Amino acid sequence: MALNRRDFLRQSGILAGGAAVAAGFAPGMMQKKAHAAVEPASGETKEIRSVCTHCSVGCGVIAEVKNGVWVGQEPAFDHPFNKGAHCAKGASVREHGHGERRLKYPTKLVDGKWQKVSWDEAINEIGDKLLKIRDESSPDSVYWLGSAKFNNEQAYLYRKFAAMWGTNNVDHQARICHSTTVAGVANTWGYGAMTNSYNDIHRSKAILLIGSNPAEAHPVSLQHIFKAKEENNAPIIVIDPRFTRTAAHADHFLRIRPGTDVPIIWGMMYHIFKNGWEDKEYIRQRVYGMDDVKAEVAKWTPDEVERVTGVPENQVYAAAKAMADNRPGTFIWCMGGTQHTIGNNNTRAYCAFQLALGNIGVSGGGANIFRGHDNVQGATDLGVLADTLPGYYGLAPASWGHWARVWDLDLDWIKGRFDNTAYDKDGKEFYVGEYEEKDDAEHVMNTKGIPVSRWIDGVLEDKSLIAQRDVIRAMFMWGHAPNSQTRGQEMKKAMEKLDLLVIVDPYPTVSAVMHDRKDGVYLLPASTQFETYGSVTASNRSIQWRDKIIEPLFESLPDHIIMYKLAKKLGFADELTKHIKVENDEPLIEDITREFNRGMWTIGYTGQSPERLKIHQQNWGTFDFTTLKAEGGPADGDFYGMPWPCWGNPEMNHPGTPNLYDTSSSVAEGGLTFRARFGVERDGVSLLADGSYSRGSEIKDGYPEFSSDLLKKLGWWGDLSADEQTLAEGKNWKTDLSGGIQRVAIKHGCAPFGNAKARAIVWTFPDPVPIHREPLYTNRRDLVEKYPTYDDRKSFWRLPTRYGSIQAKDYSNDYPIILTSGRLVEYEGGGDETRSNPWLAELQQDMFVEVHPRDANNAGIKDGDDVWVEGTEGAKIKVKAMVTRRVAAGVAFTPFHFGGHFEGKDLRDKYPSGCDPFVLGEACNTAMTYGYDSVTQMQETKCTLCRISKA
């Protein structure tokens, strides 16, 4: 008899050995051990398709389910992203669904003890407290912190929920991972997302990674990087303060001092411009403001680059030449580049580098921004943010008007849900009637909320300094781990000051234990994404469909059901789900998909209907591994997951856009120009493309974004049907609910959003051309005068923000070591889920700090010693020392996935019984200090100062 692969492995004995075997064999070989379950005696085994819930690669998972029990797991061998590969986390996701350490029922803190309550009790008690706070302080005193772990439909419903409650105090993890990417990239060429894909890296001739460690953070992405290295002989350039597992594969490794991203990029561009390696014709046709960048770059001579970054000229030159000689080259970055007070400067410098070499809008090139969580891209797109509505529509009156039409709700009713006040640029408050006389005052509905990076200041700051009526009094931590955020001591104080803290998660998270509260805390068990279904967006903008694998375990509920139950209690359930079918308190996922399809014209989330997404999911194997284009089958011609923008309505059958801004394909076939987002001219100079246009365009030059007026001027208005004309009158490509303007523009070969130049200068940002500024806490005091930080700001995202007043003090004598942070391959995010997984927990049981031998010897520290790591603001953590040359002398590194210890104290006994993770440890962010990006309020986690001493 022929043996199938699984039977062969079982009979050959390879499946024995548990996690020890995991290091040496493919995940499919671990089935019986790592996914052990008692198999029912009878019943058909069903194979159910899902997507891994860890990083943003979006690997396919096959779950084997028998009699409703998840008994086995296989990686999807036909999936176009992972082709049968899994990392350690992906190989163990079954445990996430069936995990014994999950929160099993609603519970509340009473007299310092956890007490079980029913769902009805929890919803009623929480709802009564919320309504009381709303009445006493305004809707803004409740903070709705959402999650990158929502599926798209839940993310959309959550942002809509916050709008119905009446606040913009809503945010999620993207604020503290890639908000500076979105701001920098969107303000350079139009959209703030990954331009190409993991798969398109196969065509790269060079690969530059900065602040990115995919070997640990996105392991499956390496199969795509290695394919380019092996088949194209593509050199790999890694720029990082630490010799990472990724750097071990590099042809060029540039070890920079933390916080010097702009100088190293300008140092490379110095050689590019000096040698004439830039793509002059590309710049002429498609880039505005490169001369301003060139002038700044000229200041960064090799000597100055080495003085500031620590990298010698020969290494900088070699890396620049490798990128110049091997085009197209891709540029990959992650949180090492984004989590800085000048994070937006860093990301814009990366963009300028790629524009100079002509590497944007070409296959094999691009800005390949590897996102973190499985749906951090989707949750961002769907608007779980303090400064936008779904689709990045912003908070202007016209944006609210657009979504009021989509929701079929009266705009005045929505506005009436908000506090009826307004604020000027200095945060001065005006009440209704008064503010209408102030030209510079905006209604609170149209002002950015407090970002999650600063929620603790929203609680602790003097309310006279906050641009809302009162401080934050209630906090929802919904699918969010607080140990991923900085300033742990102050976070503990903020948690203790709140009237109400509600944690919604499959696991209790450190939110349940890091405070010393005795009451006012509720834990609500959310289901995992394997116990519900819906869509999820990978880092490359492909939208994938997940099927439900198992029914919700214990007393957990899917997030969208919890949202609906709360909305009923709070009095706006009918408005929340006006055109969404609800059955047994569950809003229908497909109806939610269709609703955001009707509204998200800006980024093209309009063509991916549930039906089209399900066809893609059931036909993974028909999509080409490199192009992602279906070759035959029911999705023939589509790109996998219809990466946005997927223009028009689903009936248009747009295939999706695999590579943004690629003019070599027609718009109808997934090609694009740069977006005309910044006007048509500046200071008399055109901002539109010059002689560059997408294939098949009837307009052979640059053009503005499409509107009803432009269609009429071009004589294309008659191409709309009568019904389309009615809906499109007075609208543009992103507010026309008929989709007709987009359809007609594409019919004539044009991009609906126009055809402009990318801009290398962003005149609306504090630093129009990216410049270097020293970190707030720096031990290079010799550089502060030449490269100072910003002045303090009075009212920024509703709060005062400190810069210069911190940098003015010299901490470097007492705190001489730069502290940075990053990821481990075994754990993800705040780590509560993965540290509760026995197969992962045994792989890394101790929180640690990497210390260079010189620093260890000077402090009398040996490998494995317990040490104190103390930050400049007084917080300290007790961890194991790992003495290693991965870090340079004067630099220390810690992972950020640990929690459950606080400043040397073990908090295990504070968890609800049976819900404590197997592995606990200090959160490195307890010791991480103040510091926020000048545009987005991204937290600074990559370069503060510390001292390390033996415990």
What are the pLDDT digits (tens) for 800-857?
999 999 999 999 999 999 999 999 999 999 999 999 999 999 999 999 999 999 999 9
H or E, element range at 226: helix 221-232
- What is the rounded CA–CA span in Å between residue 782 and residue 618? 60
Q: To which residue do tokens 């001369």 refer? A: 291
293-297, 428-432, 772-776, 899-903: range with lowest mean pLDDT: 428-432
Q: Residue 31's pLDDT is what?
A: 40
Q: What is the DSSP letter of 651?
A: G
* Helix H or strand E segment including 130: helix 119-137
State yes or no: pLDDT of 485 exceeds 80.
yes
Q: Please say whether the beta carbons of 803 and 791 come within 8 A.
A: yes
Average pLDDT over residues 340-366: 97
Please tell me the predicted confidence (pLDDT) of residue 433.
65
Residue 48 has pLDDT above 90, yes or no: yes
**427/405 Cα distance (integer angstroms):** 31
Is the pLDDT at 9 greater than 70, yes or no?
Answer: no
Check pLDDT > 80 for residue 28.
no
Amino acid identity of residue 60, one-letter, is G
Question: Which pLDDT belongs to residue 432?
Answer: 66
pLDDT of residue 429: 79
Note the pLDDT of residue 422: 87
Rounded Cα gap, residues 944 and 891, in angstroms: 10
- Which residue bears the tokens 């089958």? 633
Residue matched to tokens 């942002």? 159
- C-alpha pair distances (Å), 847 with each of 401, 779, 825, 868: 49, 26, 14, 12
| Confidence bin at 96 (pLDDT 50/70/90) | confident
SS3 483: helix
Q: Decide: 807 and 382 in contact? Cβ < 8 Å.
A: no
Which burial class, exposed, middle or buried, applies to 84 when counting CB atoms under 10 A from its CB (0-12, 13-18, 19+)? middle
pLDDT at residue 747 in the model: 97
Is a pLDDT exceeding 60 seen at residue 492?
A: yes
Containing H/E element for 662? none
What single-letter amino acid sits at 188?
T
The pLDDT of residue 639 is above 50 = yes
Task: Tell me the pLDDT tens digit for each residue of 126-183.
Answer: 999 999 999 999 999 999 999 999 999 999 999 999 999 999 999 999 999 999 999 9
Mean pLDDT for the stretch of residues 600-612: 98
Determine the distance from the C-alpha atom of residue 623 to the mean position of all C-alpha atoms in its chain, rounded to a whole number: 26
% of the chain with per-residue pLDDT over 70:
95
DSSP 216: H
* Single-letter code of the amino acid located at 893: F
Q: What is the mean pLDDT of the chain?
A: 93
DSSP 433: T
What pTM, to 2 d.p., does this model score? Answer: 0.94
- 434 pLDDT more than 80: no
Contacts of 769 (CB under 8 A, 6+ apart): 289, 292, 293, 295, 296, 760, 761
Q: Which residue has the tokens 């007709």?
A: 740
**pLDDT score of 30 more than 80:** no
Q: Give the pair of three-digit tokens for residue 543.
A: 């939208």
Largest CA distance in the chain: 86
Q: At what angle do helices 610-617 and 589-599 cross, to 10 degrees?
A: 110
In the prediction, which pLDDT does 436 show? 66
> How far is the C-alpha of 702 from the C-alpha of 681, rounded, in Å?
11
> Environment class of residue 823 by beta-carbon count within 10 Å: exposed (0-12), middle (13-18) or buried (19+)?
buried
> From CA 30, how far away is CA 217, in angstroms rounded?
21
CA 189 – CA 51 distance, rounded (Å) = 30
Question: With left for phi above 0 and alpha for psi between -120 and 50, is residue 749 left, alpha or beta?
Answer: left
Q: Is the pLDDT of residue 34 over 70?
A: no
3-state DSSP assignment of residue 114: strand
Question: According to the model, what pLDDT value does residue 388 have?
Answer: 97
